[in-house]
Amino acid sequence: MSSLTGLAGLVPVVVFLAAALGIAVYSRSRAAKAAGGGFVGEYFLGNRSLGAFVLAMTTIATYGSVSSFVGGPGQAWQTGFGWVYMAAVQVTTLFLLYGLMGKKMALVSRKLGAVTVIDVIRARYKSNVLANAAAIIIVVFFATTMIAQFVGGAKLFAAVTGYSYVTGLVIFAVAVVAFTTLGGFRGVAITDALCGIAMLVGIVVLAGGIFTAGGGYEQVMDTIAANHPEMLEPLDAGGMPVGLYFTQWLLVGVFTFCLPQSVVRTMGFKDMKAMRNAMVLGTVIIGFMMIGVTALGTFSAGVLTDDLAAYGGSVDNIIPQVIVATLPPWLAGIAIVGPIAASISTVSSLLIAASSAIVKDVWLNYRHPRAHVQESVPVGGASGKPDAVRDDRVVRIVSHAMTLFIGIAVFVLSITPPDLIWKINMFAFGGLETAFCWVLVCGLFWKRATKEGAILSMVGGTAAYCIAMALGFKLFGLHQIVIGIPVALVLMVAGSLATKQPDDETRAVFFPAD
């Protein structure tokens, strides 16, 4: 690829990254001047002021990722429309999140003055052991997911612009770590909205390129039918077994409502009207985005007609290859902004959540045992008290440093890239869903749930899931999520029924009507 082509592909990416950084810094700076709630509430939750559009887009961004734009469509190129039908379950994600968790989490978190999901867990179960375990699980699985995003974004950048993988990784990492560190939750949420728009534009541009290069929709479909007629079948002639549908629907649909990076969004909206509008708007957008981009992966089979070996032997290379093959350099640069935006938005959301898990949920709580309770002044706010935990300057420095440190660590781990990004993403999804599902659901909706049951559920369920993954052990050939989730449920119920029920103070906060 010539240097001119590389430059033409590079310019739109650099312009987008610069715009995202500028918007993040500006929004954070403006909010910080106006905020009366202190640094922690603003940096980690945006002082609960997100409107419907930004809320919808930032929630989608925590869920959609480079796997959605590279790994998933690449798999659809190989599998066919069965992968698209499987992706359709993602339309339910925002309804499940806001319908099941939204109102209760909003009410409880405001009552407690909670800033993070772990704040709520600590208050519900009154257990530092559980809260610390949750923080460790968040950091480990978030780091795993972030590595996949860094790798996917850098690979895509390298394939389209002609620059090296490491160059793409450096540009990508510097931009995303900088605007997350400087922008905080609000900056991340605002740039997520920008990223969401970029994703939609990228899908439209790529669709135009595929159908133009393939001779139109009918010709693309005829080519697929002639070369791989099984790709038109829901089960792909055995390539998409019913069991795969079932487990993927659980992983990327049913249980996504308990992912902590999404749940924290239910604590950050301005009012119930914003939540309801975000639920409807977000459902329409995520449907178009996830089904649309996966379908483009299948349509790519009407343009890229060689076997997988011709494209580097990895499905992760399909979308970069089809962008290069179907679009002129300047449009290719615009098209890759979409999936790069998906990577950036996911990394930024996970990075701020991982930082909050360490700074807010571990360090601040260690310094101040009631750090999860903001009372009349948010923790880290200017209260006039000499306690170090309320020193905005100290908390600000530590928060920025931790966000930067995690970002650098993930960057270093991404230098040697792993393959099959979508599988890495699914592993992290399953681990987080197993760890947090019953701890959150039972904590909010079952007054008999106890800290012992929650600890057993989170630690035991996650251990069962990870061991099964490591050993390659499956039940009936299904993904290990069908082991982790039931084990976590059994341990939660058994542990809770065998121990003393929660005290009256906890019940009054979480179940005031009882």
* Structure tokens belonging to residue 9: 């592909």
pLDDT score at 418: 59
Mean pLDDT of the chain: 81
Instruction: Report, as an integer, the average pLDDT of 139-158.
Output: 81
The contacts found for 162-168 with CB under 8 angstroms, 24 or more apart, are 162/1, 162/2, 162/3, 162/5, 162/6, 162/9, 163/6, 163/10, 165/417, 166/415
Instruction: Report, as an integer, the average pLDDT of 148-164.
Output: 78
Put residue 206 in one of left, alpha, beta given phi > 0 → left and psi -120 to 50 → alpha: alpha
Helix axes 165-213, 318-326, angle to 10 degrees: 60
Q: How far apart are CA 434 and CA 98, in angstroms?
A: 19
pLDDT score at 220: 94
% residues pLDDT > 70 (the chain): 85
Instruction: Report, as an integer, the average pLDDT of 419-431.
Output: 75
pLDDT score at 315: 83
Higher-pLDDT residue of 4, 487: 487
pLDDT score at 384: 41
Instruction: Report, as an integer, the average pLDDT of 184-194.
Output: 72
Report angle CA 72, 78, 84 to the nearest 5 degrees: 50
- Which range of 18-27, 184-193, 263-272, 410-419 scores highest in mean pLDDT? It is 263-272
What is the topology classification, in CATH, of domain 7-416?
Sodium/glucose cotransporter (1.20.1730)
- How many helices (H) does the chain have, and how many strands (E)? 24, 0
Higher-pLDDT residue of 156, 221: 221
Instruction: Report, as an integer, the average pLDDT of 109-115.
Output: 85
pLDDT score at 42: 55
Instruction: Report, as an integer, the average pLDDT of 113-136.
Output: 90
Question: Tokens 């993403």 map to which residue?
Answer: 425
pLDDT tens readout for residues 436-445: 999 999 999 9
Instruction: Report, as an integer, the average pLDDT of 34-59.
Output: 63
pLDDT tens readout for residues 204-229: 999 999 999 999 999 999 999 999 99
Report angle CA 113, 115, 118 to the nearest 5 degrees: 110
Instruction: Report, as an integer, the average pLDDT of 16-44.
Output: 65
Question: Tokens 């290379």 map to which residue?
Answer: 317
Predicted model pTM? 0.81
Higher-pLDDT residue of 386, 308: 308
CA 264 to chain centroid = 11
Asked whether 209 and 70 are in contact (CB, 8 A), the reply is no
